[in-house]
Structure 1
């Protein structure tokens, strides 16, 4: 299967390598069912090579696995080479099928439906919150450099927590600078709270799923989440 955001293209080949047909289907739950029904009418479906099992093909891979089909992860072709050779999605789908048939693709996709997937999505959101918080802090401090002297001097020398609290308490109606600092301080506070909540949630899931990992020197919740995400939910031999 050559997978895309809105449409998946499927190709069916026999164990002897004969192409039985190609067809495109919508990338929806209904489309997944139609794809499998179509393929099953052409013969007994034993294995499915799916491109992009971690992105556009994730839903299809889960559907096929739930139906008892062995799903094999297939690497996407190089897009530049694909354009030069004028290949189509149907050709890519056929190539995915032949990669499985020829043994070039053998990896099982990550299941993406267990605690490790929970860690992955939470870590994505936490990393975003941390980046945005850092950006907001830098913006607040940059504004202070050019702020009116009286305001700048009243906030000089404060630690970060005290600075953010003081800025959050500024009257946003006093001036545009007051309003900007006020809003940035509240944004920093909100993002800090999000980061704390997500860190605790990540630690809780890691502790429940793989507590021995947290016992290793230098491995905290974030590092553990990264390691477990790389391994996947189905990392056992």
Structure 2
């Protein structure tokens, strides 16, 4: 087959076409707009006669730079493969051509796709993309609220040290309203700034709560089995759905565990067979969501506490026990998403065909 690797920037895309053994067939640079993407597809069609399998595009997995290109290629009926950045970097280091340039980087992406035929295939945006966007936006708003809360507390301490704010109290509308009423006693620049920050905090509370309600509706609709897992709330389920981006992309639970960063890394040699170490790679957002579920279950919600106690009785410390529990939860989450996928497929196949007059 012909593999076309791309090196993407804000203004241009550089593409390099390789055959199945890695020989360069051509190079082209286009603009990052619809006209440039159409010219890229037309240029790629000239290589379609090399093999019956046609042409495939390999994009470096940097979503913000390649999102528009990926969508246009998929809309044009092209096959698109996402190549992790670390694979492209390792290929470039082993290249016989020294230096760094756009064609060299594009060729490295194509070579990485040829060497790893099981890389994830891109698809058009669906419900998982919506969940991820909403979840990421909510997290950004929470970060803003946390920063504002710290500033408000210092301003209030300067105005009146006896004015106490409950822990996490600025998340509640009633606490914010009471603090705004207390600020009426002061007439200074500090009080004015504190009032402005409190009003902004009140807006963020409303936006964050609305986003959580919207996420609850989406998660209940597309991943109800996740919410049935003890300790998995709406926010954790939203992170899992958004970051997974379709459980059908993973061939089995072990591949999914490597994606979540819960599969240990083998480090044995010779007589030390079976030795492993902590995996610090994988998707860290997914790993964090699984850790929150594990911590919740360790407190007695669900079967996690019994499993953790069993590991502690075997001589494991609590950190190692939670690590093992995250690995088991990765399999549970994978199975839950597979069940939802099979239910959706069965429901779609059971729908009667509608005749169009």
- State the TM-score, normalized to the length of structure 2: 0.58
Equivalent residue for 2:203? 190
- Counterpart CA distance in 2 for 1:100 and 1:156 is 58
- Counterpart CA distance in 2 for 1:235 and 1:4 is 30
- Counterpart CA distance in 2 for 1:39 and 1:157 is 63
Structure 2 counterpart of 1:78, from 67, 77, 89: 89
Equivalent residue for 1:214? 227
Equivalent residue for 1:122? 134
CA RMSD of aligned residues (A): 2.7
Secondary structure at the aligned position of 2:231 is classed as coil
- Counterpart CA distance in 2 for 1:3 and 1:105 is 21
Secondary structure at the aligned position of 2:17 is classed as strand
| CA distances 1:149-197 after superposition (whole Å, capped 9, x unpaired) | 4xx54x4477834542133343599211220111111111001001100
Is structure 2 residue 206 aligned with structure 1 residue 201?
no
Q: Which runs of 5+ in 2 are unaligned?
A: 1-5, 252-357
| CA distances 1:95-115 after superposition (whole Å, capped 9, x unpaired) | 2223333x3253124436111
Equivalent residue for 1:55? 64
Q: Is the 8 A contact 2:74 2:124 kept in 1?
A: no
- Counterpart CA distance in 1 for 2:137 and 2:67 is 19
Secondary structure at the aligned position of 2:63 is classed as coil
Secondary structure at the aligned position of 1:72 is classed as strand
Q: Is the 8 A contact 2:80 2:122 kept in 1?
A: no
| CA distances 1:112-159 after superposition (whole Å, capped 9, x unpaired) | 611111111111110011111121111111112222x4xx54x44778
- Counterpart CA distance in 2 for 1:46 and 1:157 is 62
- Counterpart CA distance in 2 for 1:180 and 1:211 is 44
Equivalent residue for 2:123? 111
Q: What is the aligned length?
A: 230
Evaluate the alpha carbon distance shift between residue 156 and residue 17 of structure 1 in structure 2; reply closer, same or farther with a 3 A threshold: closer
Q: Is the 8 A contact 1:120 1:225 kept in 2?
A: yes
Residues 17-32 of structure 1: pairs in structure 2 closer than 5 A: 17-32=22-37
Equivalent residue for 1:88? 101
- Counterpart CA distance in 2 for 1:24 and 1:178 is 56
Q: Is the 8 A contact 1:72 1:106 kept in 2?
A: no
Structure 1 stretches of 4+ moved >6 Å: none
Q: Is the 8 A contact 1:207 1:214 kept in 2?
A: yes
Secondary structure at the aligned position of 2:65 is classed as coil
Greater displacement, 222-231 / 14-23? 14-23
Evaluate the alpha carbon distance shift between residue 165 and residue 4 of structure 1 in structure 2; reply closer, same or farther with a 3 A threshold: same
- State the TM-score, normalized to the length of structure 1: 0.85
Higher relative contact order (CA 8 A, sep 6+): 1
Secondary structure at the aligned position of 2:179 is classed as helix
User: By how many angstroms is 1:87 displaced?
Assistant: 1.7
| CA distances 1:29-54 after superposition (whole Å, capped 9, x unpaired) | 22111111112134444211111253
User: By how many angstroms is 1:234 displaced?
Assistant: 6.0
Structure 1 counterpart of 2:45, from 24, 40, 45: 40
